[in-house]
Structure 1
Amino acid sequence: MPRKGVTSFCFSPKASFSTHSHHLPSPSRFAFSPSQSSFSETVMDRTLDTVEPMVMKWDPQTTTVGRVTSLFHHDRREARDFIEAVNSLQKAMHLLLTDNSSSCGLARAKNLMLIAMKRLEKEFYQILSMNRAHLDPESVSTRSSRTSTACSSTSDYEEDDEDCIRSVADEMISAVEDASTLAMEDLRLIAECMVSSGYAKECVKVYKIIRKSIIDEGIYRLGVEKYTSSQIHKMDSKVLELRIQSWRNAVITAVKTLFNGERILCDHVFASSDSIRESCFTEITTEGAMILFGFPENVAKNTKRSPDKVFRLLDMYAGICDHWLEIDSIFSFQSTINIKSQALTSLIKLGEFVRAALNDFESAVLKDSTKSPVPGGGIHHLTTEVMDYLSILADYSNILSDIFADSPPPAKHSFPNSYLGFSDSDESPAPPVSLKTAWLILALLCKLDAKASYYNDVSLAYLFLANNLQYVVAKVRTSNLKHLLGDEWLTKHESTVKQFVSNYERYGWGDVIDSIPSNRAAADTPEKIEEIFKKFNASFNQAYIKQSACVVADRKLRDDIKASIARKIVPLYREFYSAHRLTMQRARNSVSVVRFSPEDVGHRLWTMFFGNEE
C-alpha cells in the first residue's frame, strides 16, 4: 500500500489502480543516487511529452473529437499507437515507482492514465455494443451457410447472374468475418492494456454487462423460459409438448452457437488472464445455461408419467446426450462444473422417467381386459398398439442403451431363453435394452395366448396366434427392433408362426384331408366310392364355410397358408377324382355325389382368408 505523505498527494485514491498486482513499494526500502533518480524522471518526462498530446486529444472532457468520435473507428493505426503510448506510460510509471516513488511527476502520469483508461473503457463499450452481430464466430459461419444456400437456390437468373450474386454474397460474408476479426482484435488490445494497467475491474464490468445481456436475450429468443415445478405440473399436455419441441431446437443453437461463441470470444479477449476469462464466462453464461439444462429435469419430475410421454423425454435426453462432448468442452472451467452437473442431473431424471414409464407400459399390457375374440382370428388391437409403440421406441435404441446400461438386470429365472428367443447367459449376456425389449414383447405374447383361449374353435385360436405373431415378426424385421433382438430371435419366432399355422391346418382342415383315402384299395366298390365322395363333400363344405370367415392380413402368410392347404388336399383329391369320376357318372345320382371338381376345390381355397371382404 502506498504510504502517506507525498504519494498520497500524487495519487488519487482509485481502488483499481491501488490493487494492481504490482504493490507499490515503500521508498525507504530503496537507496538510489541522484543520477538514478534523474534517469527515471527523464524517462517519465520524455514519455509524458510523447503520450500527453495523444491522450488529451481523445479526452471527452476537453475535445470535441474525443467526445463524439470513436478512436478505433476513426483510425485503427492511431488507436494502436494510443495503446502503445499507454503501455509506455505504464512502464515509465513502474520505473519511476521503483526508483523514486515520491516523485510528483507521478501525479501528472496518473492523471493521464485515468484519462486514457476512461477513453479505453468507452472504446471497449462501444466496440462491444456496435458489433453485437459480429462477435460470435459460430453465428458468422451460420449466416455464411444461409447466404450461400439462398444464392444457390436462385433459379430466375442466368448462370452469369448467379455467379455475380455468389460473388457479391462471398464479399458480404468476407466483410462480416473481417468485421468480427477486427472487433475481437481491438477488444483484446484494449483488455490487455487495461488489465496490465490495473484497470481490469472496469474492463471486466463492461464486458460482463453487455455480453450477459446478449446471452440472456439469446436464451429468451430461443424460447427457453424458467418455469416452476407447479407451472410444469399444471401445463396442458399440448402446450408442454410445444415447449419441449422449442427446447429441443434451442439446445442445439445454444450449445453450438450461443455458448460456444461466447467461450471463443471470452478466451480470445482475455487470453492474457485465465482467471479473468473464467470468471467472465462463468458469470455471463451460468444463469442461461442453468435454465436451459434445468428444464428437462423439471419436466421429468413434474410431468404425469405415461408411455406416450416417453418419446418427448427421449428427445430431450438426446438433446443433451448428442451434444455432451461440446457441453463438456465449453463448460470446462472448474467454476462451471455446476452447469455440467445440472445437465447430468437432467439426464438421470429423464432416464428414471423412461424406465418407470416403460414398466407402466408393461403393466398396462398385462392388465388389458378385453375378452371378445377378434372376428376371423385377425390381429388384435393390442398387438398393433404395442408393436407400433415398440417399433418407434427402437428408433431411440442408442439412447435406450445408455438409459438401461446401469439398470439391474431382471432375475435370471424370469427370462426363459426359449421364450425370449435369444440366449442370455453369464458368459454371453444380452444387452439390457435388448432384454427389456424382448421382455415387453414376451408380455404381449403371453397376453395373446390368454386371449386365444376365448375362441371356441381351436383352429381359429391357432390362426389368431399365427396372425398376431406374424405381425410382431414383421414389425421386428422392418424396424430397428431387428438390431435389438437379432436374427436368432427372428428365426425362433418365425418357426413358432409356422407351428401355429401347422396346428391351424390340422384342426381346421384335418377332417377334409382324412376324408380322402391314401390307399386305393379302400375304394373298391361303387358304394365305398360314393361314401368317400360324400364324406369329402361334407367335410370340405363344412370347413370351407367355417374357415371362409377367417382373416389373414399378411399377404405372404395368407398365400403360404392357402398353398400349404392346397398341397395337402388338391393332389389327393384330384387323384381320387380322376380314378373314380367315370364310375360315379354311371350312377344315377352322380351329380349329387361328385359336387366338386379339383379345380373347384382349388378355386375355393384360393378365395379364402379375406374375411367379410369375400
Structure 2
Amino acid sequence: MSIEGMRNLCFSPKSSSSSSFSTSHFPSPFRFGSRPSFSESITDKTLETAEPMIMKWNPDSTTIAKVTSLFYENRKEAWDFIKAVNNLQKAMHLVAGDSNSEKLTRCQMLMQIAMKRLQKEFYQILSINRAHLDPESVSTRSSFISTRSSTSDYDDEDDDKIVIESISEVEDASSVAMTDLKLIAECMISSGYAKECMKIYKIIRKSIVDEGIYRLGVEKFSASQIHKMNWNALDLRINHWINAVKIAVKTLFNGERILCDHVFACSDSIRESCFTEISKDGAMILFGFPENVMKNSKKSPDKLFRVLDMYTGISNHWPEIDFIFSFDSTASVKSQALTSLVRLGEYVRTALNEFESTIQKDSSKSPVVGAGIHHLTIDVMNYLSILADYSTILSDILAESPQHQKNSLPEKSLFGFSDAEESPMPAISLKVAWLILVLLCKLDIKAEYYKDISFSYLFLANNLQYIVARVRTSNLKYLLGEEWLSKHESKVKLFSSTYERLGWGHVIDSLPKNPTVGTSPDKIKEVFKKFSSSFDQAYQKYSMCIIPDRELLDDIKTSIGEKIAPVYREFYNAHSAMVRRKRNLTCMIKFAPEDVENHLSNLFFWNN
C-alpha cells in the first residue's frame, strides 16, 4: 500500500455516528436568569483556551500544520495540546444535556479536528520511529518508561515541567516515542476514538512483525513442500528456525508485547486485541514449523540432534512464551508451541528406538584388522556422546514415555548399575546404558568371527576400553556414574588378562618356575628351543595387532613383559657358562635377554 493510500485509510473523516454523543442521561443544567451557569463558565473558559491551539494545528487549515509534526516541533506545546483536548472532553460532558447548544457543537467540531491531528501524529511517530521502535530497542529499554495510566497526572504545569525535563535528560528516542504514543493513545481512547487509534497501530506494527519473521528466515511451508525437500535443504531451513526462535521470542515478540502493554496501558482489552492481531500470524508460523517438519519429513536417527535442537528452542524459552502469549486470544499460539513439543518428543523416542535397531542390524562380518576398534563402536559412542549433551532435554522427553516401555527394560544390574540403589535411575541414564549393552552384545557376536580366540578377547578389550574412555571423557560419565565405569573397567582387565593367558601363556609356560636351578644339558636345550619357538611365534602373531588406548597398551605390555623378561634373563644368565662350553647348543638360543626385552618393547608397534 502506498503512503498516500495509508494516509487516506488512517485519516478518513470521522463519521457522524462515531463522533456524536448520547445526551439522554445528562440533566439540563440549572440557569439563573441571563447569568451564565457554572457549566457554561467552565465551557467558555475551556473553549477560549483550547480553540486557538486546536485550530493552529488543524491539518486542513494551515500550511505549517500540514507539513510539521506537533510532537517534533514543540514537545511542551504538544503536551499542552493533549491537556486542552482532555479539558475539552470534560467540557463536552458538562454541556451534553443541551443538544442544541452552540457550545456543544463547537466542542464537537474542535474534538474532530483534534482527533484528526492526533491520528496524524500517531501515524507519524509510528512510521518515523520504525528504527527506534524496533522490538530489540523496545525490549531493552522498557524498564525506565513510566506506566502512568492517564494524562490526568499531567494536569499541573509543574508536573509537566518535571516530566519533560526527566524525559529530555534520561530517555532516548525510543523511550520518547513510546511516551508520546501512550499519551496520544490514552487521549484518543478516552475521547471515543479507540478504533481509529488501534487501526493505525495494528497496520504499522503487524507489518514490522511479519517482516521480522521473514527476515529471520522463517517461512510458511505446505505439507507437500516439506515432504519434497531433500535433507540438505530441510536442514538449512531447520538451522534458520533454530537461530530465529531465540531472537523471535526474546526480542521480536517480547518487544512487541512490551510496546503494546505500554502504549495501551489504559485498556486491557485494547492491548490484548492489538497484540493478538499483530503477533498471532507470525507466531503460528514460527511455532508451527517443527510440527510440520515432524509430520511430513522422513524419519532417521541421523536427524535426531536437529530435532533436539528444535525441542530445546521451544522448551528453553517456554517461560517467555507463556508470559508473552498469556492473553486468552493468544492461547492458540501456546497450544501450537506445545503441540510441536509433543511431536518433537515423539520423534526423539522413535529415533532412539530406530538407533537401537540399527545397532542390532549391523551385518558386517569381516574381523577388524589387528583386533582394533570396530567402526560400529566408534559410530555408536560418537552418537551417544553427543546425545549426552542433551541430557536435560532427553530426561524430560523420556520421562513422558509410556509406562509399558519403561517397564520393558531388564534389571539394572545388567546395565552395570546396582539393584540396591534406593533412588530410581533417570530415564536417560537407563536408555544410554541399555544402548551400550546392545552394542556390547553385538560386539560379542563380532568377536566370534576371529579364528583365534585370543584375538577375540583382545578385540573385546580394545572396544570396551574405547567405550569406557569415551564415557569418562564426555558427559556420559554424569549419566552412568562411577559404579558403571568401575564395573566395565574391571571387564576390560578381565578381557586383557584372558588375551594374555591365551596368547602368551604357552610362552610363559615354556620357562621353568625356578630358572636358576641346575638341570641337564638336554633339559636346558629343550627350554631354549621351546621358548625361542613359542616367543617368536607369539611375537610374529601379535606384532601386527593394534591397541589404540595408551593406558591399555602399557598395561598389557607391562604385564606380559614382567612375566617373561626377568625369568628368561635369570635362566639365560644361570646357564650361560654351559651354553658357552657346549657349542652344539648355541644354535638353540635365538634370543638374548636384550632381544626379548626389545621385542616386547616393540610389540604392537602399529600404535606408535
TM-score between the two structures when normalised by the length of structure 2: 0.89
Match of residue 64 from structure 1:
63
Code of the aligned partner of 2:132: H
1:357-394 deviation digits (Å, cap 9, x = unpaired) = 11111101000001111111111111111111111111
Change in CA separation of 1:32 and 1:84 when aligned onto 2, cut-off 3 Å: closer
1:329 offset after TM fit, Å?
Answer: 1.9
1:199-210 → structure 2 map (5 Å cutoff) = 199-210=193-204
2:181 is matched with which residue: 176, 187, 201?
187
Counterparts of 1:206 and 1:141 in 2: how far apart (Å)? 21
Deviates more, 1:321-330 or 1:182-191: 321-330
Counterparts of 1:352 and 1:459 in 2: how far apart (Å)? 44
1:122 offset after TM fit, Å?
Answer: 0.7
1:131-165 deviation digits (Å, cap 9, x = unpaired) = 0111146336879xxxxxxxxxxxxxxxxxxxxxx
Contact 1:134 1:176 survives alignment (8 Å): no
Change in CA separation of 1:449 and 1:416 when aligned onto 2, cut-off 3 Å: farther
Code of the aligned partner of 1:52: E
Match of residue 401 from structure 2:
407
Code of the aligned partner of 2:591: F
Please say if 1:282 is aligned against 2:279: no
Counterparts of 2:577 and 2:409 in 1: how far apart (Å)? 63
Code of the aligned partner of 1:479: S
Counterparts of 1:362 and 1:271 in 2: how far apart (Å)? 55
1:526 offset after TM fit, Å?
Answer: 1.3
Change in CA separation of 1:332 and 1:413 when aligned onto 2, cut-off 3 Å: closer
Match of residue 267 from structure 2:
273
1:289-317 deviation digits (Å, cap 9, x = unpaired) = 11111111111222211111111111111
Counterparts of 1:551 and 1:509 in 2: how far apart (Å)? 16
Counterparts of 2:516 and 2:246 in 1: how far apart (Å)? 82
1:516-542 deviation digits (Å, cap 9, x = unpaired) = 121459762111111111111111111
Match of residue 53 from structure 2:
54
Match of residue 122 from structure 2:
124
1:134 is matched with which residue: 99, 109, 132?
132
Counterparts of 1:412 and 1:293 in 2: how far apart (Å)? 33
Change in CA separation of 1:238 and 1:142 when aligned onto 2, cut-off 3 Å: farther
What's the secondary structure of 2:311's corresponding residue? Answer: helix
> What is the count of residue pairs matched by the alignment?
566
Match of residue 451 from structure 1:
446
What's the secondary structure of 1:34's corresponding residue? Answer: coil
Deviates more, 1:411-420 or 1:246-255: 411-420
1:488-527 → structure 2 map (5 Å cutoff) = 488-519=483-514, 524-527=519-522
Contact 1:522 1:528 survives alignment (8 Å): no
Code of the aligned partner of 2:119: E
Please say if 1:370 is aligned against 2:367: no
1:334 offset after TM fit, Å?
Answer: 2.0
What's the secondary structure of 1:589's corresponding residue? Answer: helix
1:554 offset after TM fit, Å?
Answer: 1.1
2:16 is matched with which residue: 11, 14, 17?
14
Counterparts of 2:515 and 2:73 in 1: how far apart (Å)? 114
1:218 offset after TM fit, Å?
Answer: 0.8
1:346-365 → structure 2 map (5 Å cutoff) = 346-365=340-359
2:225 is matched with which residue: 231, 240, 244?
231
Change in CA separation of 1:247 and 1:565 when aligned onto 2, cut-off 3 Å: same
Counterparts of 2:412 and 2:587 in 1: how far apart (Å)? 55
Match of residue 299 from structure 1:
293
Counterparts of 2:23 and 2:567 in 1: how far apart (Å)? 115
Deviates more, 1:252-261 or 1:279-288: 252-261
Please say if 1:483 is aligned against 2:478: yes
Counterparts of 1:407 and 1:414 in 2: how far apart (Å)? 13
Code of the aligned partner of 1:441: I
Contact 1:137 1:180 survives alignment (8 Å): no
1:111-134 deviation digits (Å, cap 9, x = unpaired) = 111111111011100000000111
Contact 1:136 1:257 survives alignment (8 Å): no
Contact 1:223 1:250 survives alignment (8 Å): yes
Change in CA separation of 1:307 and 1:261 when aligned onto 2, cut-off 3 Å: same
Please say if 1:578 is aligned against 2:570: no
1:80 offset after TM fit, Å?
Answer: 0.8
Counterparts of 1:73 and 1:551 in 2: how far apart (Å)? 80
Contact 1:374 1:380 survives alignment (8 Å): yes
Change in CA separation of 1:413 and 1:136 when aligned onto 2, cut-off 3 Å: closer
Contact 1:26 1:101 survives alignment (8 Å): no
Counterparts of 2:557 and 2:110 in 1: how far apart (Å)? 101
Counterparts of 1:311 and 1:371 in 2: how far apart (Å)? 29
Change in CA separation of 1:139 and 1:178 when aligned onto 2, cut-off 3 Å: closer
Match of residue 326 from structure 1:
320
1:102 offset after TM fit, Å?
Answer: 4.8
Change in CA separation of 1:581 and 1:175 when aligned onto 2, cut-off 3 Å: farther
Contact 2:56 2:62 survives alignment (8 Å): yes
Contact 2:139 2:254 survives alignment (8 Å): no
Contact 1:547 1:609 survives alignment (8 Å): yes
1:577-599 deviation digits (Å, cap 9, x = unpaired) = 22222222221222212221222
Match of residue 155 from structure 1:
none
1:354 offset after TM fit, Å?
Answer: 1.2
1:523-577 deviation digits (Å, cap 9, x = unpaired) = 6211111111111111111111111121111122111111110011112212222
Counterparts of 1:413 and 1:242 in 2: how far apart (Å)? 38
1:428 offset after TM fit, Å?
Answer: 2.0
Match of residue 33 from structure 1:
30
Contact 2:137 2:255 survives alignment (8 Å): yes
Code of the aligned partner of 2:503: G
TM-score between the two structures when normalised by the length of structure 1: 0.88
1:498 offset after TM fit, Å?
Answer: 0.4
1:6-25 deviation digits (Å, cap 9, x = unpaired) = xxxxxx9634345x8xx643
Change in CA separation of 1:242 and 1:78 when aligned onto 2, cut-off 3 Å: same
1:88 offset after TM fit, Å?
Answer: 0.4
Counterparts of 2:285 and 2:120 in 1: how far apart (Å)? 32
1:175 offset after TM fit, Å?
Answer: 9.9
Contact 1:136 1:265 survives alignment (8 Å): no
Counterparts of 1:31 and 1:83 in 2: how far apart (Å)? 28
Counterparts of 2:138 and 2:30 in 1: how far apart (Å)? 59
Counterparts of 1:130 and 1:357 in 2: how far apart (Å)? 51
Instruction: Give identity over the alignment, percent.
Output: 66
Counterparts of 2:417 and 2:514 in 1: how far apart (Å)? 44
Please say if 1:79 is aligned against 2:73: no
Counterparts of 2:516 and 2:114 in 1: how far apart (Å)? 123
1:227 offset after TM fit, Å?
Answer: 0.6
Change in CA separation of 1:31 and 1:50 when aligned onto 2, cut-off 3 Å: closer
Counterparts of 1:100 and 1:255 in 2: how far apart (Å)? 53
Please say if 1:336 is aligned against 2:330: yes
Contact 2:135 2:252 survives alignment (8 Å): no
What's the secondary structure of 2:270's corresponding residue? Answer: helix
Please report the RMSD computed on the Cα atoms of aligned residues, expressed in angstroms: 2.2
Code of the aligned partner of 1:54: M
Q: Runs (4+) of structure 1 moved beyond 6 Å? A: 140-143
